[in-house]
Amino acid sequence: MSRVRSIPRQHLVAGLCLLALVLYPVINPWQPYPQGVMLLGFMLAIQACSWNIISGYAGYISLGHSMFLGLGSYTVAILAIKWGVNPLWLIPLGGVTAVVIALLIGSVVLRTRGHAFVIITIAMLLAAQIFAVNFKGLTQGSDGITLELPFWDRDYQNIPFYYIFLSLLVLTVLFTAWIRRTKFGTGLIAIREDEGKAASIGVNTTRFKIVGYGASAFFIGVAGGVYAYYLTFLNPVGSFAILGSVVIVLAALTGGKGTLYGPVVGAFLVQLTSEAATVYGGGSQTRVLLFGSALVAVVLFMPAGLLPTIEAQWRRRHPVTVEYTDQAGALGHGPATTRERALADVAVQADGQSQGDVLLEVRGVSKRFGGLVAVDNANLTVRKGSITALIGPNGSGKTTLFNLITGGMTADSGEIYFDGQRIDRMKPWERGHLGLGRTFQITRLFKEMTVQENVVAPLPDSRWRTMFADAVSGHEAARARELLDIVGLGRFAGERAGALSYGQQKLVELAQVLMLEPRLILLDEPAGGVNPSLLGRLTGVIRELNERGISFLVVEHNIPLVLELCDPVVVFSRGTPIAEGPPGMIREDPVVLDAYLGDDWRPAPVDDAAKAVRASTHRGVH
């Protein structure tokens, strides 16, 4: 009994509904009409759930998704006639065709970000219709294809279809739930929340999107094959109508896109309402108007969908207290063994390189934005095992340089080498897989995912096995929890990342980077917004990680921290380094002081020198 109680409530409700649906034809077998309405609802739910994978999870809206239904129908019908086989044997092939087409389209259009995708999905739907009309030899054009009637007794009519569609729906939901549990799922959501950041943590966004699009096509193709047998007649206009795609979007949106059961609930709502409108309303002339108004209403007033809105209402009545950061734990009073093991996990494997070899080399890199030269023929070297600081006035090009190193931007000229390998032409995730990690000046977490999911999301390598590893339990998840413990946020694993405070988010971001098993971490103003005692802990963590082999390149404005922690210190001004050396030397260098403080600055008396520097830098050269 306690096992039952430990299942989340939403799954229990879903299970009960499934039971009711399974039993319905057993209890009430001789009514093909309601069964017909229900099975069309199942079919819509299959499509909406599948749509959810690419458009709900990954955020790439597809407005032509019913195309896969038509593709599946045509494939199965054509082959069934050609081979003289009952169509039901061939329905997996409908899925295969759908996936192949999705992969082909995806590989052309998903290589870039932006709005081309939604336009292409509409265009492809209309193009599919034209193909079906014109490839007469294959599809019999506008005449359409007719199939034989089902072979079972007419008393049972719709019952087999009912169960087939219901089974497909269950499979689709299970499939979607499984995807959500894997790093593939967290990667898709990462892409939706912040595609650039996803790329920087090792998510191969192109591959994920294409696979996601393909995954969103399979079950629809299979359902299409069954649908062909149900209708016994196919034609291009009916199979590739745009209203079919509209209804999918409406269903998923109404129920809640991005949730597991939202599309199913939405599909039933839409199907039953539509049928009721036909039977009781003034005919279906108003169907287009009904769907259009519903879509507008949902987008304006309930964009999250029904299920999330209900859940939000529920939360308002049953709030959960937010806990504080386990600062004590973070400050070193937690179980030492856990930390030791976690840190050991993070340790870098020896790779034959010894301390002091060049790890990162930037050669003659330049970047302009129109007339503004942000980085001007810059050279920079980071040695293995070092904590190198990069300081300089605002606008000197430090963050731009970071972006160039990690792959967020392409340099206009110059080369970048990481561990001897040239990386300036590589995609951001490839650089991540090589061991290059980075945190951001303004934290970029995936707000809608939980903290644990945020930390599990990064992929340290490009293997397919990693992509499909379980993110909720198992090795990856355990590692993520340990990393969270290092930064003291273990208790927050189940919280929504967007609910955390700024400082807490910074710590999560650090844990994220560690998940990449990096060899070099670029920290962009790590001390900003972190309270002083935690700052000490942060410095300690950096030092411990450094001792285990991780190198750091730190951009910071907190000069005392820099002088204490880092060696060497590189000073950047107007897009190029102007000085480099150990902290003590940099403090005194007149060129540096001039660049930072202006040429009318005079050094204060010796015993106040340190205070003066601290004061001037804290007042903000920002």
Partner 1 sequence: MTASSSARSLALSGTRSNNPRRHSRMLSLTALAAVGVMVLAACAAKPSEKAASGTSKPLVVGISLPLTGDFSQPGGEAKRGYEVWQSMVNAKGGVLGRKVELKITDDASNQDTVVADYSKLITQDKVDLVLGTFSSLLNYPASAVAEKNAMVFVEPAGGAPKMFTRGFKNLFFAQPATAPHQADVFVDWIKSLPDAERPKTAAYPSQDDPFAAPVIESMQKQLEALGVKTVYSAVYPADTTNFQTIASQMASKKPDLIAQGAVFEDGVGLIRSLKQLNYSPKMLFQTSAPSNSSQYSDAVGMANTEGVFYTVSWNEKAKTPLNPEFVAAYAKAYAGASPAEDAADAFAAAQILQAATTAVGSVDQSKIRDWLHANTPETILGPLSWDETGAPKGKFLLAQWQSSTVEVVGPADAATTKTVVNPKPGWK
Partner 2 sequence: MTQLVQALALGLLIGGVYALMASGLALIFGVMRIINIAQGALLILVAMITWWLWRKTGIDPILASVITTPLMFGFGWVLYRFVVSRIRDQSASMSVLLTFGFALVIEGVLNVVAGNRFRSATPSYFEESFRMGGVSLPKTQVYGFIAALVVLAALYLILTRTWTGRAIRATSQNPSGAALVGVGAAGTAALAFALGTATTGVGGSILSVLYPFFPASHYDWISRLLGIVVLGGLGSLPGAMVGALILGLAETLTATYGSLRWSTLVFYLVIMVVLLFRPQGLYGAKLREDAV
The Cα–Cα gap between 467 and 208 comes to 9
Which of 84, 149, 371, 532 contacts partner 1 by CB under 8 A? 149
Which of 26, 27, 149, 300 contacts partner 2 by CB under 8 A? 300
With CB under 5 to 8 Å by kind, the binding choice for 296 among partner 2, partner 1, none is partner 2
Angle (deg, nearest 10), helices 32-51 and 9-27: 150
Kindly state the tokens that stand for 424: 């300036």
Residue 467's H or E segment, with its range, is helix 464-467
If one asks whether residue 231 binds partner 1 (CB under 8 A), the answer comes out as yes
Q: Which of 189, 295, 286, 313 is nearest to 251 (CA)?
A: 295
Peptide bond into 568 cis (omega under 30): yes
If one asks whether residue 332 binds partner 2 (CB under 8 A), the answer comes out as no
Residues 535-574 as x/- pattern, contact with partner 2 by CB under 8 A:
----------------------------------------
- Site residues for partner 2, 188-247, by CB under 8 A, read 196, 199-200, 242, 246
Listing DSSP states for 402-417 in one string gives HHHHHTSS--SEEEEE
If one asks whether residue 175 binds partner 2 (CB under 8 A), the answer comes out as no
With CB under 5 to 8 Å by kind, the binding choice for 246 among partner 2, partner 1, none is partner 2
Sheet holding 421-422, edge to edge: 372-383, 358-369, 413-418, 421-422
Neighbours of 561 (CB within 10 A): 18
Which of 47, 50, 62, 157 contacts partner 1 by CB under 8 A? 157
If one asks whether residue 289 binds partner 1 (CB under 8 A), the answer comes out as no
DSSP state of 496: B
- End-to-end alpha carbon distance in the chain: 61
With CB under 5 to 8 Å by kind, the binding choice for 149 among partner 2, partner 1, none is partner 1
**Radius of gyration, alpha carbons of the chain:** 29
Q: Which of 567, 608, 565, 612 is nearest to 593 (CA)?
A: 612
The Cα–Cα gap between 162 and 21 comes to 10
Which of 15, 303, 395, 498 contacts partner 2 by CB under 8 A? 303
Q: Which residues pair with 145 in a beta bridge?
A: 234
Choices 21-29, 261-269, 403-411, 584-592; region in contact with partner 2 by CB under 8 A: 403-411
If one asks whether residue 323 binds partner 1 (CB under 8 A), the answer comes out as no
Q: ∠ CA 544-545-548 to the nearest 5 degrees? A: 95
| Contact call for residues 52 and 252 (beta carbons, < 8 A) | yes
If one asks whether residue 409 binds partner 2 (CB under 8 A), the answer comes out as yes
If one asks whether residue 32 binds partner 1 (CB under 8 A), the answer comes out as yes
- Site residues for partner 2, 418-457, by CB under 8 A, read 428
If one asks whether residue 112 binds partner 2 (CB under 8 A), the answer comes out as yes
Which of 174, 299, 322, 328 contacts partner 2 by CB under 8 A? 299
Q: Which residues pair with 552 in a beta bridge?
A: 387, 521
Residue type, 489: L
Which of 286, 309, 381, 441 contacts partner 2 by CB under 8 A? 286
Q: How far is CA 48 from the centre of its chain?
A: 19
Residues that bind partner 1 (CB under 8 A): 1-2, 4-10, 12, 16, 20, 23-24, 27-34, 36-37, 40, 130, 133, 141-144, 146, 148-150, 154-155, 157-158, 231-233, 235, 237-238, 275, 278-279, 283-285, 287, 311, 314-315, 318, 320, 494
Residues that bind partner 2 (CB under 8 A): 55, 59-61, 63, 108-109, 111-116, 118-120, 122-124, 126-127, 130-131, 133-134, 196, 199-200, 242, 246, 249, 253, 285-296, 299-300, 303, 369, 400, 403, 408-410, 428
